[in-house]
Amino acid sequence: MTLFFAARGRPLPALLPLAGLLLSLACVVPAASAQQRNPQQRVGNTIFEQKAESYRFERFSLDSPDRQRRWQVNVGIPLRAGKAPAPVLYMLDGNAAAMVMDQALLAELAGKAAPVLVFIGYDNDLRIDSAARTIDYTAWIDRAADENGAPTVAGGGAFAFQDLIERRIKPEVEKRARIDRSQQALWGHSLGGLFVLSSLYTRPAAFQYYLAASPSLWWSQGAPLGDMEQQFLHSQHGQAAKVWIMLGGAERVGDRGKRDMGNPRVVAHLRRIGGASPDAAMHLARRLGALPGLEVQYREFPGLGHGPMLQASLQAALSVLYGVADRSTTLPPAQP
C-alpha cells in the first residue's frame, strides 16, 4: 500500500520521472562546500550529560581503518525496559539529533513504545561534522568545483559506512539492549537522508523503516536519481519496508532564503544543488510508491527550509514510529 499526503491536505501536483548520472564509488577527501551554514557550531549540554530520568545512556567509540575518523555512538536505553525486545531507531548526525530531544520527550517515549535510541555521531563536540559525514553518507563521488573554481573530489564512503553499521554498531548495540530486529528504523537528514535512500536501494532488508528527510538528491550532479535508483526500481521484488520522505515546503518551491551572493562559498553551493530540481524528493516518493512491498509516505512541512527540517523531521519520525505527540507542528517557519 502506498500513502501520499501533502501539507495541510493539499493534493500533490502531477509527478514526472527524473534521471541522473551514476559516478564511480570511492572514499576520498570531502569538499568544504558540502558543509552546513555554520560548520563550527558546537554541542552544548544535551540529554547525554543530563541526569537520567527515563533513559540511561551508554557510549562507545569506533575508529575508521585509516584512523582519520572516529565515530561516537550513544545508546539510549529506557530505565524501565520490559522483558520483550524493544524497537530501535538509528539516527545519523547523532550530536545534532541529541540536541533535538529533551527530558519531556524522553519521558513520553519511555511511556509509549520505549524504543532504544541510537545516536551515531563523531567523537568531537561539533553539532555536525561536515567533513566526516560528506565521506560517510554519500555513495557517489562528487567532482564539483569549489568556491575558488578548483575541481574537488568528495564522498563515496557510504558502502563502507553501511558495513560499519551492520557489522560493528548493531552488534555492539545488541550487547547493551534487547532489540526487536523486526522493528529497526534508520533516520537521516540532508546527506544523511541521502544515505538512508542509498541504504534502501542496496540493503532493503537491513531496516524495516527508512526515514529520509530533505535528501540531498542534487549530490554529484544528481547522480542519486540515476543508475542506483533505476536498478532498485527494476530489481526490487516485494521486499517489505516502510519509507518516509520528508521535505520542507520552502525547499520544494526552491526558496533558498536570503543568501550572500557575494560569498564565493555560497555561490558554489547554490551551483551544486542545481543538480536536482527542488521538488525531486516529491517525485521520487511517487516512483518508489509504485513498487510492490513498499509503503511510501511523502510529507511536506509548510514554510520550512532545509536547516529547520532536521529538527522537524526527527520529531515527526518519533511521532509516527512511537506514538508521541508530533512536536514538529509547533516549529515556526525559518530560513533554509
| CATH code, domain carrying 142 | 3.40.50.1820
Q: How confident is the model at residue 101 (pLDDT cuts 50, 70, 90)?
A: very high
Nearest CA among 273, 277, 258 for reference residue 335: 258
Record the pTM: 0.86
Q: How confident is the model at residue 259 (pLDDT cuts 50, 70, 90)?
A: low
pLDDT at 34: 39
Burial class (CB in 10 A: 0-12, 13-18, 19+), 253: exposed
Residues 144 and 268 sit within 8 Å (Cβ to Cβ) = yes
Q: How confident is the model at residue 137 (pLDDT cuts 50, 70, 90)?
A: very high
| Residues with catalytic function | 190, 251, 306
Backbone angles phi, psi at 184, to 5 degrees: -105, 130
User: CA dist 172 to 188, 259, 310, Å?
Assistant: 20, 43, 26
Domain membership of residue 47 (yes or no) is yes
Q: How confident is the model at residue 63 (pLDDT cuts 50, 70, 90)?
A: very high
Domain membership of residue 335 (yes or no) is no
Amino acid identity, position 23: L
pLDDT at 4: 47
Domain membership of residue 242 (yes or no) is yes
DSSP state letter for 167: I
How far apart CA 274 and CA 12 sit, in angstroms, is: 22
pLDDT at 110: 97
Domain membership of residue 336 (yes or no) is no
Residues 305 and 332 sit within 8 Å (Cβ to Cβ) = no
pLDDT at 26: 33
Q: How confident is the model at residue 39 (pLDDT cuts 50, 70, 90)?
A: low
pLDDT at 193 over 80: yes
Place of cell 526490487: 236
Average pLDDT over residues 133-157: 84
Q: How confident is the model at residue 146 (pLDDT cuts 50, 70, 90)?
A: low
Nearest CA among 195, 211, 183 for reference residue 309: 211
Domain membership of residue 2 (yes or no) is no
- Overall number of domains in the chain: 1
pLDDT at 260 over 90: no
Domain membership of residue 1 (yes or no) is no
Report the residue count for the chain: 336
User: CA dist 317 to 197, 199, 323, Å?
Assistant: 16, 18, 9
Q: What's the gap between Cα 26 and its chain centre?
A: 20
How far apart CA 115 and CA 211 sit, in angstroms, is: 16
Domain membership of residue 252 (yes or no) is yes
pLDDT at 36: 44
Amino acid identity, position 35: Q
100: containing domain: 7-330
Instruction: Give the neighbor-by-neighbor strand order of the sheet with 209-213.
Output: 55-63, 70-78, 116-122, 86-91, 179-189, 209-213, 241-248, 294-301
Average pLDDT over residues 38-64: 89
Domain membership of residue 207 (yes or no) is yes
